[in-house]
Structure 1
Amino acid sequence: MELPQPHGAMRRFWSAHPRFVDVLVSFAYLVTASTWALITPLSSGEWEPAGPLVVSAAGVLLTAGALLVRRSRAWLTFAVATGAALATTVVDDAIDPLGLALAVYALFVYRSTRDGWAGFATAVGIGVVIRPVVSIVVRGETLSSFSLTVAGLLYTVVVLIAALVGVSVAGRRRYVQTLVDRANQLAHERDQQARIATLAERARIIREMHDVLSHSLSVMVSLADGAGALAQKDPVRCRDAVREIGGLGRQSLSEMRRLLGALGEEESADRDDRQSLRPSPGLDELDGLITTFRAARLPVRLHVEGTPPSSPGAQNALYRIIQESLTNVLRYSRNPRSVTVSMNSGAEGTSVTITDDGAAGPPADSVGLGRGIIGIRERAILYGGTATAGPVPGGGWRVHVEMPQAKGNE
């Protein structure tokens, strides 16, 4: 087990308590600046007049108070520290480099690099240019070049150290913030991709549900109409039609359970039948599909050339295209004498054509929404293909699908 590192724990503590850090910095500055203001006259052997001491004390207190808001008001902190330094320079030949250094650091970290260097130039100008000018002009003092150079150099070094530390800390903070923003962006994009994938999968399942319901209900209605017509004339055929309705209904229920289970809205209590693991229908079940439509008195003929593609996805797409096309024939074609399903598979892809010779026109009790043709086109596009549907000269309807990426087995 890896023990937590003490430096990391301390860093997390300071990051979690920024106000406490501000108070600590302000208090440390107040103690340091006050001590320096008292030690300086003692070291020279002379007490300063009360006026300069009051100004120095007021400047220290104002700067300490301004440091409490250095994170949100960095320029205000710098302005207060600058004003205190100028006031001290005017009434006394002294300047507080620590307050200005902390203010310059705050500009770098909490504002920008450009603001920081602007503050640095201002602070250096106060200590190197303004202070000597004020000492000579206001108080008439004469400073030797050596003392002027040493004082300005020391002052500049203190402010420069604060500026360099500020540049380093600001660079690290902005780098970390960039990493955090990038991580948040990637997480947002990941969530969006997951939502898009979920919506696409749900749209696919909805298409499957439409195909199942449209096909099953259309065939069941046709069988029920036929059974009613044969109830008196041919009871045997009527019973066969009723059995077909029951079988088709059970098959449709099984398909619906599987699709709803994929949506996560239904959990089967009995897992032994493995209905949820049943694969989507493929071309192996095409003969059974044709038989179902024939039982509904639709004269379907099937012609298959070449070896169909082995891809389960391509097989399911072809199965659903044929199912939807024949369902439309059953629903909308009037008295078709011939319905032909032709499928040709080869190295260049697979083509499917469904043609009927009936008179077009929707029945009185069923009006479609156009989802069937849309679903056919989408399944064709999925394999780089196209789908066309329209009337045939002389009567009838034709659906033709080309799927170049659904290549037959060689």
Structure 2
Amino acid sequence: MRPGTVSGTSVRVPLRGRLHRRMSRTRVLDLVTLGTYGALAVGLMVLSSEPPYVTPLWAMILLLAGGIAAVSIRRRFPRAAFAAAMALSVLSLAVGSGAESLLAVIAMYTVGVRQRAATAWLCFGIAMACGAFGALAISVRGSVGPPILGLEPPMVARDSVQDWANVYVVIGVILLITTLIGTNVGHRRRYINELVHRADQLARERDQQAETARALERERIAREMHDVIAHSLTVMITISDGAYASLDERPQEAKEAIARVAETGRRTLGEVRRLLGSVRNDGGATIAEHAPQPDASQLASLVRQFVDAGLPVRLTVTGSPSSDAALGLTVYRIIQESLTNVLRHATDVSSVSVTVSWTQTDVTIDVRDVSSPVVASSDSGRGLLGMQERVALYDGEIEAGPQESGGWRVVARLRGEEK
């Protein structure tokens, strides 16, 4: 795999890095939030200890401790933190310095960022209800005390309802703005996370598809190698045996047989180079070294090779061959494998017939031999399996087995595109 691509291993490293950076940013943000609240609470506590805004110190200390706890647990226990923030904000407006009202703002922003929009607006309704009590506490303190920072008990009576309404509107506007900002940020984060997750998933799927394609290509090349090498070696061994047997009595025929062995070996070597070149392209191969794939037009040449090897083969072709090169290659390989099996396993072969019938929609291949009963071999299964896989690509059917009169028969029907 090329450098820079995302594989099953290389995906996890960026994901782990992003998670680590996100956790680091989260910790920094929590510290900043806690520091901001603590500074505000301590500052207002000092100011509220000075006349004329004297507020009970014990109440402010307890509220500060509760606020620190609420901020600290807001990610691990969001519901408890939200409830604590609402309660502390109301109590702070009632008996404290009012610093804990910042907790309600933090809580609403956190809910908007981390929860769905429906949940965020439900929490906004709860916050507005708590805000009504907070506004009521401020209006009461503004009238009868104890004083809160910025509000002194008036010398004359004031309209408490109007004060409550004014404070409630301010609280509502602040909570509304905070909720809108939080939901917008949360929606954007979720959208980006979904895009990142989708990109990682597509990268993994791409790599899986590439691995599947490579596996299929390896299987195809292994099948081609089996067909080429098994056929060629069987022919070469058979011709060599014949040449050895006739070396003393018919030396000229033996020399011709040895020449055919050399020719078959060179041709096989060329096909093997072509197949390996499709797997490993190291820049050393030229176009001239890549011969075209065989097809149905070369069946006569294929049969001639087996005749030269001593196999009495008769070829009959009816109909017009298809122009589909892949279909022609499949027909060629099926016949090649069938004749190779006859040459390798059959004994006392008296005749072999190969019939290829082309029609408008399909092609039928019939290879049968007349010989002694075939002895099963432990290494003969891969060739038949390869033929079955080739036939399956064209939604075809294949039958292979011994005949009652002796010998073996292979019948395959492949469905091609209509001419």
TM-score by length of 1: 0.81
- Give matches, 1:274-293, under 5 Å: 274-275=288-289, 277-293=290-306
**Pair 1:344-2:360 in alignment:** no
Tell me which of 256, 270, 279 is aligned to 1:254: 270
- Give a deviation string over 1:13-66, Cα, whole Å, max 9, x none: 999845444444444444555556666788xx71314x2x45436645764675
CA distance in 2, matches of 1:126, 1:54: 23
Kindly report the root-mean-square deviation, in angstroms, between the aligned alpha carbons of the 2 structures.
3.5
Match of 1:299 in 2: 312
Tell me, yes or no, if the aligned pair for 1:33 and 1:98 is still in contact at 8 Å: no
Which residue does 1:192 correspond to in 2? 208
Following TM superposition, by how much is the alpha carbon of 1:236 offset from its aligned partner in structure 2, in angstroms?
1.6
State which of 151, 154, 172 in structure 1 corresponds to 2:170: 154
Aligned residue runs from structure 1 range 4-83, under 5 A? 17-32=25-40, 46-49=52-55, 51=56, 53=57, 55-56=59-60, 59-60=63-64, 63=67, 67=71, 70=74, 74-75=78-79, 77-78=81-82, 81-82=85-86
The match for 1:88 is 92
| Residue aligning to 2:124 | 120
The alpha carbon displacement at 1:105 in A equals 0.9
Name the amino acid aligned to 2:354: V
Answer yes or no: is the 8 Å Cα contact 1:97–1:159 preserved in 2: no
SS at match of 1:387: strand
Matched, 1:382 2:393: yes
Q: Tell me how far apart the structure 2 counterparts of residues 14 and 211 of structure 1 sit (CA, whole Å).
A: 56
Q: How does 1:222-261 map to 2 (within 5 A)?
A: 222-261=238-277
Opposite residue 341 of structure 2, the aligned amino acid is N
Identity %: 33
Aligned 8 A contact 1:74 1:111 in 2? no
- The answer to whether the 8 Å contact 1:26/1:65 transfers is no
SS of corresponding position for 1:395: coil
Contact 1:97 1:155 (8 Å CA) reproduced? no
Q: What SS is found at the alignment partner of 1:360?
A: coil
- Aligned partner of 2:322 in structure 1 is 309
The one-letter amino acid paired with 1:183 is A
| 2: CA distance, partners of 1:309 / 1:183 | 43
Unpaired stretches in structure 2, ≥5 consecutive residues: 1-20, 146-157
Q: Which residue of 1 aligns with 2:13?
A: none
Shift in alpha-carbon separation, 1:284–1:368, aligned structure 2, 3 A? same
One-letter amino acid matched to 1:373 = L
Cα contact 2:239–2:261 (8 A) shared by 1: yes
Q: Which amino acid aligns with 2:288?
A: R
Q: How many Å separate the matches in 1 of 2:133 and 2:33?
A: 29
- Work out whether residues 359 and 395 of structure 1, in 8 Å CA contact, stay in contact via their aligned partners in 2: yes
Matched residue pairs, number? 386
2:190 is aligned with what amino acid?
R
- In 2, the alpha carbon distance for the partners of 1:268 and 1:315 equals 30
Deviation at 1:86, TM superposition (A): 4.6
Are residues 406 and 236 of structure 1, via their aligned partners in 2, closer, same or farther at CA, if it must alter by over 3 Å?
farther
What 5-or-longer segments of structure 1 have no aligned partner? 1-12
Matches of 1:311 and 1:257 in 2, distance apart? 24
Cα pair 2:44 2:97 within 8 Å, conserved: no
* 1:347-381 Cα distance to aligned partner (Å, 9 max, x none): 12222111111123238xx6424111121122222
**2:405 is the counterpart of 1:394:** yes
Deviations 1:129-155 (A, max 9, x none): 377479979x98798222222222322
CA distance in 1, matches of 2:29, 2:237: 79
CA distance in 1, matches of 2:262, 2:417: 34
**Contact kept? 1:33, 1:96, Cα under 8 Å:** yes
SS at match of 1:188: helix
State the one-letter code of the partner of 1:100.
Answer: A
Structure 1 CA distance for aligned equivalents of residues 247 and 128 of structure 2? 108
Does the alignment pair 1:107 with 2:111? yes
Q: Give the TM-score taking structure 2 as reference length.
A: 0.80
1:10 alignment counterpart: none
Contact 2:354–2:366, Cα closer than 8 Å, also in 1:
yes
Is residue 335–residue 359 contact of structure 1 (8 Å, CA) maintained in 2?
A: yes
Q: In structure 2, do the counterparts of structure 1 residues 114 and 37 end up closer, same or farther at CA, with 3 Å as the change threshold?
A: farther
* 1:284-329 CA distance string (max 9 Å, x none): 3322221211121100011112221222211111111110010011
Deviation of 1:263 after TM superposition, in Å, equals 1.8
